[in-house]
Structure 1
């Protein structure tokens, strides 16, 4: 609760700054703050809409004002203009929170709305995604700018796993009774050992399916974005082969010592399971 309050205060400061520069702009948050898939180190994702300037010019203007008002930690402020969605990125002063601000892009808002719908359909996706996100973070495999698997793509990968798991065929009321520990082990085993991402793509529309990719798509992980069908939500995950190896290791760790680790979490509720895994 305290952490969420601090994040909201940071957003308030960003909104104040942006409206000083562009009085008619609209500042919105998206991503983990809206889906509640927040880890202690989760970025604060912000989009600024209704900006009359060119995107790159607007980012330069915004960065100058952030620097002038000393909102960023020294040396942390940078413009990432070679990303699919260019952003202004910085650590907010006096905190360890990384802030990502994009200009005139509503992709994040659409992605967030899609995730909220999927999370409502698959309640176990929430604790699984939280644990997988933390696991990737601890192994520095979570950052799309460095070839890792971002939060959105991670959530979609978990959703696809649940769509293809027997869990999918259960009545909605029974899904909350499924062991989170078993599902996590199954996820690590399936993605780590059996999912052939070089030849198979993921589609989550209408209940989801996996399909054989054509040659032009065979270079890496392909997740068709349910919010924008022509977009590959995992296009930045250049190091997904390393991620699958990490998932293999996670599965083997869970299954060692006569399954003592797995037994501790098999019968947990999602919240207790999550607490054990990330503390």
Structure 2
């Protein structure tokens, strides 16, 4: 049976009459239109954010600031994507604490102890108490580069990741939105590759995978160099998403030298030697020479790829993917007319969305100049 996105990709044409690269392009467009969140899903997510904001204000005071970032802000979220939230808490005022301690009551001391408790632990305790019957999962992760509180709502199955006093996340979301306007293919390629990595459990930085921001930097760097090469050779840059997907997979599976090279998306994108005198301190990991070094455009001495210790597994997944795609494109079609299906496994959720998604199929069609 054809995968659920095929109906949205055919646009009334028979796939057997299409060039394989055009078919793959249309399948990517169909997949994006199928999987992008519907208005009612976005509304449900917004309601959860508003409820959570009230809980945070109640727990940490009205001065606590709740900021949503990541795919929820950029519009790149899949239906199963996390809601990323950063809570900014003002520094505690400690002047005069010692003077007041002698006159403090037991209740005052208890409040003071709670105030000095780790914000992560405190939030975890409040969630366990206040939302006990509404959560299917709750975890406080303290021993990571960015400590998190993770929870999942039982009724909606929406996962939420919460961090404290981190301002890079919201800034990164604004930056990605700016890049999406400059490089329209960034959006559909992110959709497909996010799902590709998630289907293989390679999408979480804390378990060594490739997170959303890192993936977006990889795609953006690829697009920058692709466009520059087209200008150099005076060859119009083909805006076929199928060709871009294959070229991306080839780059990061066989062509890119992970051991010697890193990249930045600043200055319209450029590569740099990881061992250079001004880079080695920040981007060379002797114990993990194969790591992908990516300069954070918001913090040039920070390596976005540093947490991703399973990069060799990701590289092999990309290699298998592009070989599968080429085989399906140029060998007789066997069980399915779909090309993209060899990379993206069909799920029950996709089938359900195909049934429910009977609105305008041409909405939000992305960069189609083939």
Q: TM-score range by the shorter chain?
A: 0.7 to 0.9
Partner Cα separation in structure 1 for residue 365 and residue 178 of structure 2: 24
**Could you tell me which residue of structure 1 aligns to residue 125 of structure 2?**
64
**Could you tell me which residue of structure 1 aligns to residue 70 of structure 2?**
31
**Could you tell me which residue of structure 2 aligns to residue 133 of structure 1?**
194
Rate the CA distance shift 1:180–1:71 in 2: closer, same or farther, 3 A: farther
**Could you tell me which residue of structure 1 aligns to residue 163 of structure 2?**
102
Unaligned runs of 5+ in 2: 1-38, 93-114, 342-361
Question: What's the CA shift for 1:55?
Answer: 8.9
Question: What's the CA shift for 1:29?
Answer: 0.2
**Could you tell me which residue of structure 1 aligns to residue 259 of structure 2?**
198
Q: TM-score, normalised by structure 2?
A: 0.66
Partner Cα separation in structure 1 for residue 149 and residue 204 of structure 2: 15
Rate the CA distance shift 1:133–1:68 in 2: closer, same or farther, 3 A: same
What RMSD, in angstroms, separates the aligned Cα atoms of the two structures?
A: 2.6
Task: Identify the range of structure 1 (7-16 vs 113-122) with the bigger mean alpha-carbon deviation.
Answer: 113-122
Residue 40 (structure 1) aligned to one of 74, 79, 89: 79
Q: Does 1:242 align with 2:313?
A: yes
Task: Identify the range of structure 1 (110-119 vs 181-190) with the bigger mean alpha-carbon deviation.
Answer: 110-119
**Could you tell me which residue of structure 2 aligns to residue 277 of structure 1?**
none
**Could you tell me which residue of structure 1 aligns to residue 214 of structure 2?**
153
| Structure 1 moving runs of 4+ over 3 Å | 51-56, 71-75, 166-170, 257-264, 269-274
Contact 1:77 1:90 in 2 (8 A): yes
- Residue deviations 1:231-267, cap 9 Å, x none? 1111111001110111111111111144365699xxx
- Residue deviations 1:1-60, cap 9 Å, x none? 111111111101110100111222111100001110111211100111134458961111
Contact 1:44 1:98 in 2 (8 A): yes
Partner Cα separation in structure 1 for residue 363 and residue 230 of structure 2: 19
Aligned residues: 266
**Could you tell me which residue of structure 2 aligns to residue 113 of structure 1?**
174
Within 5 Å, which residues of 2 pair with 1:1-279? 1-21=39-59, 22-52=61-91, 57-70=118-131, 76-166=137-227, 169=230, 178-214=239-275, 217-218=284-285, 219=289, 220-259=291-330
- Residue deviations 1:84-124, cap 9 Å, x none? 11111111232221111111111101111221121111111
Rate the CA distance shift 1:56–1:85 in 2: closer, same or farther, 3 A: farther
Rate the CA distance shift 1:263–1:52 in 2: closer, same or farther, 3 A: closer
Give the match's secondary structure for 1:12. Answer: helix
Give the match's secondary structure for 1:101. Answer: strand
Unaligned runs of 5+ in 1: 275-279
Question: What's the CA shift for 1:69?
Answer: 1.1
Contact 2:328 2:339 in 1 (8 A): no
Contact 1:200 1:213 in 2 (8 A): yes
Partner Cα separation in structure 1 for residue 84 and residue 51 of structure 2: 14
Partner Cα separation in structure 2 for residue 231 and residue 72 of structure 1: 40
Contact 1:50 1:104 in 2 (8 A): yes
Question: What's the CA shift for 1:271?
Answer: 5.8
| Higher RCO (CA-CA < 8 Å; seq separation 6+) | 2
